[in-house]
Amino acid sequence: MKVMFSAGEASGDTHAASVAKALRQICPDVTMFGMGGDLMAAQGVDIIYDIKNLGYIGIVEIVKALPEFFKLRRFLKEAMMREKPDVVVCVDYPGFNMKLAKVAHELGIPVVYYIAPTIWAWHKSRGKDIAKYVSKVASIFPFEAKAYEEFHVPVEFVGHPLVDIVQPSMSEAAAYEYFGTAEDACNVLLMPGSRKQEVIGLLDIMLDGASRFYATHKNARFFVPRAHTIDRELLEERICRFDLPVTITEGHTYDLMGICDVCLAASGTATLETALMNVPTVLLYRLSAVTYALAKLLVSIPDVGLPNIVAGHRVIPELIQGDVTAANVHTELCRIVDNPEVYSTMKEELRQVKEALGAPGAVLRVAQVIAEVAGGGR
């Protein structure tokens, strides 16, 4: 079996790597190649295009980069024609992967879409295109599967992969020692995103808010896990502007989450990871003015944070666009850390979010879907 992957950002690399590992378990002679990152490479995927070269967020930003996307699509089409994979697995990154799915379909190659476009939130018209070009959607939310069924898309609810992935690898005592902190410290996690543009837009504000918090919470220690798509120098040059006890960490991020009291996180997968690790979190989300204005017109749900969408109500605070300020970051940190009732309520509601995401085993179920589609075509 030959599998081609297309993952366009750090979270996609994480999910695709887990699936690649599961594929090797159920089909030891599988051959895998495609677009991805270091984690996929570590699981035996031959990376023909490294996602470090990508990382655009909004409509305005993507328009500027369109020529590069066209070149990349041609490059991957040529790879499909040359390698003739049994299946193409698209992971997230819908703006690009929807076009790639069409290319694969036109070449007669079946497509599995994993971490599929969020038609339940916006751009419902994509449901028709997915019905045309995608052989099977491996759905991670039950309400998502129902949305795809309305468009007569072949879909299977597999559960959420993070339930499998988000697991600490060491005891809390070992983690405190590993990260050089203590249980009686207020350990604060800063997760400014996995894309350069996000980090540039959010990290300074996070650090400024953290500085204000540190002024009245001298037992605080701050940690920035480096996403493998972000150069360490980019983080260092921003952190050095602030007089704060900040540690940039490499790896063991779930162990770090397990000992942190509170988190500031860019909107995205990170907020679901912190929910699964039961870390009270403040979500930050900021786009260019034009992109945000368009999103407001198109998005049909009240919250942007995945834990809030899963819960069906606001569990973690969201700082959106103009509300992304150092003053608001400081206020939310204090509100969570200094109020035991707020803190315990948030942790209980995050436990309920974890329960709603279903049982373990999602990643293996995705691998089985891929193997079935590769074996039978469409």
Please give the Cα distance from 328 to 331 (Å, whole number): 5
Instruction: Tell me what pLDDT residue 92 has.
Output: 92
Same domain, 233 and 90: no
Task: Give the total number of structural domains in the chain.
Answer: 2
Same domain, 19 and 115: yes
Residue 259 lies in a domain: yes
CATH code of 120's domain: 3.40.50.2000
Which tops the pLDDT comparison, 100 or 55? 100
Instruction: Tell me what pLDDT residue 146 has.
Output: 86
Instruction: Tell me what pLDDT residue 65 has.
Output: 62
Same domain, 131 and 216: no
Give the tokens for residue 145.
Answer: 């599967």
Look over the chain and give the mean of its residue pLDDT values, rounded to a whole number.
90
Residue 224 lies in a domain: yes
pLDDT at 49 over 90: yes
pLDDT at 224 over 80: yes
Instruction: Tell me what pLDDT residue 7 has.
Output: 95
Same domain, 10 and 150: yes
Which tops the pLDDT comparison, 112 or 61? 112
Mean pLDDT confidence for 211-227: 97
Instruction: Tell me what pLDDT residue 143 has.
Output: 79
Instruction: Tell me what pLDDT residue 298 has.
Output: 47
Q: What confidence tier does 291 reach under pLDDT thresholds 50, 70, 90?
A: low
The contacts of residue 51 (CB under 8 Å, 6+ apart) are 7, 8, 9, 10, 12, 13, 35, 36, 37, 229
The lowest-confidence range among 33-37, 83-87, 142-146 is: 142-146
Question: What predicted TM-score, i.e. pTM, was given to this entire model?
Answer: 0.72
Please give the Cα distance from 48 to 75 (Å, whole number): 9
Mean pLDDT confidence for 359-363: 91
Residue 365 lies in a domain: yes
Instruction: Tell me what pLDDT residue 122 has.
Output: 62
pLDDT at 378 over 50: no
Same domain, 155 and 268: no
Same domain, 346 and 371: no
Residue 166 lies in a domain: no
pLDDT at 123 over 90: no
Please give the Cα distance from 370 to 89 (Å, whole number): 8
Same domain, 205 and 285: yes
Instruction: Tell me what pLDDT residue 328 has.
Output: 98
Mean pLDDT confidence for 34-45: 96
Same domain, 77 and 22: yes
Instruction: Tell me what pLDDT residue 121 has.
Output: 61
State pLDDT tens for residues 170-195: 999 999 999 999 999 999 999 999 88
Domain that holds residue 95: 2-159+361-376
Residue 165 lies in a domain: no
The lowest-confidence range among 145-149, 183-187, 289-293, 353-357 is: 289-293
Instruction: Tell me what pLDDT residue 62 has.
Output: 53
State pLDDT tens for residues 225-274: 999 889 999 999 999 999 999 999 999 999 999 999 999 999 988 999 99
Q: What confidence tier does 220 reach under pLDDT thresholds 50, 70, 90?
A: very high
pLDDT at 289 over 50: yes
Residue 164 lies in a domain: no
Please give the Cα distance from 72 to 49 (Å, whole number): 9
Mean pLDDT confidence for 305-331: 94
The contacts of residue 263 (CB under 8 Å, 6+ apart) are 188, 189, 190, 191, 257, 270, 274, 279, 280, 281, 282
Q: What confidence tier does 57 reach under pLDDT thresholds 50, 70, 90?
A: very low
Residue 239 lies in a domain: yes
Angle at 356 between CA 260 and CA 114, to 5 degrees: 90
Same domain, 301 and 202: yes
3-state helix, strand, coil in the chain (%, to 5): 50, 15, 30
Residue 199 lies in a domain: yes
Of 2, 1, 53, 42, the closest CA to residue 18 belongs to 42
Residue burial 194-207, b: 16+ Cβ < 10 Å; e: rest:
bbbebbebbbbbbb
Same domain, 12 and 83: yes
Same domain, 18 and 126: yes
Same domain, 153 and 194: no
Read off φ and ψ for residue 268, nearest 5 degrees. Answer: 140, -155
